[in-house]
Chains A and B, each alone.
Chain A
Amino acid sequence: MGFDYNSLLAFIIFGVTIGVVYGIVALGISLIYSGLDIVHFAHGEMYMFGAFFGLVLAHNVGIPYPIALIGAMIMTAILGMVVERVFYRRLTRAGGGYTVAGMGMIICGFGMSVALVNVAYFIWGAEAEPFRANLDYIPRLTFPGDIKVPESYVLTAIISVALMAALHYFLRHTKTGLAVRAVAHNKDIAYLMGINVPLMISLIFGLACGLAAAAGVLIGPMQSVQVEMGYLMLMKAFAAAVVGGFGSLPGAIIGGIMVGVFENLGAAYISPSHKDIYAFLLLILVLMFKPSGLLGVEAKVKA
Chain B
Amino acid sequence: MLQINDVHAGYGSLKILRGINMQVPAGEIVTLLGGNGTGKSTLLKAVSGLLPLMEGEVLFDGVDISKMKPHRRMRLGLVQVTQAKEAYPAMTVEENLVLGAYTRRDRAGTLADLEWVYEFFPVLRERRKQLSGTLSGGEVQMLVIGRGLMAKPKMLMLDEPSAALAPKVVLEIFANINRIAKTGVTVLVVEQNVRMALILAQYGYIIRDGVIMIEGEAKKLISDPAVKDSFLGGSVANTSRALRN
Contact = CB atoms under 8 A, between A and B. Distances in A.
Interface of A: 175, 178-179, 181-182, 185-186, 188-189, 191-197, 301, 303
B102 A181 contact: no
15 contacts: A178-B95, A178-B98, A178-B99, A179-B102, A182-B88, A182-B99, A189-B82, A191-B50, A191-B70, A192-B48, A193-B71, A194-B75, A194-B103, A195-B102, A303-B85
A212 B71 CA distance: 31
Interface in B169-199: none
B151 interface: yes
A51 B4 CA distance: 54
Nearest to B81: A192
A181 B100 contact: no
Contact of B80 (A182, A192, A197, A303): A192
A276 B132 CA distance: 43
B102 A194 contact: yes
A196 B89 contact: no
Contacts of A193: 71, 74, 99-100, 102-103, 147, 151
Nearest to B84: A303
B88 A194 contact: no
Contacts of A175: 98, 102
A52 to B, nearest CB: 36
Interface string B56-92: 0000000000000111001100011010011111110
Contacts of A195: 71, 102
Nearest to B133: A301
Contacts of A178: 91, 95, 98-99, 102
Nearest to A172: B95
User: Chain A at the B interface: mostly helix, strand, loop or mixed?
Assistant: helix
B34 interface: no
Interface of B: 48-50, 69-71, 74-75, 79-80, 82, 85-91, 95, 98-100, 102-103, 147, 151
Contact of B86 (A179, A181, A197, A303): A303
B82 A301 contact: no
A165 B103 CA distance: 26
A188 B71 contact: no
Nearest to B51: A188
B219 to A, nearest CB: 32
Contacts of A179: 99, 102
A191 B103 contact: no
A188 B74 CA distance: 12
A175 B87 CA distance: 17
B74 A189 contact: no
A190 to B, nearest CB: 8
Nearest to B48: A192
A178 B74 CA distance: 18
Contacts of A182: 88, 91, 99
Nearest to B148: A192
A111 B102 CA distance: 37
A209 B33 CA distance: 48
A301 B89 contact: yes
A188 B83 CA distance: 12
A192 B82 contact: yes
Contacts of B71: 191, 193-197
A124 to B, nearest CB: 40
Contacts of A303: 85-87, 89
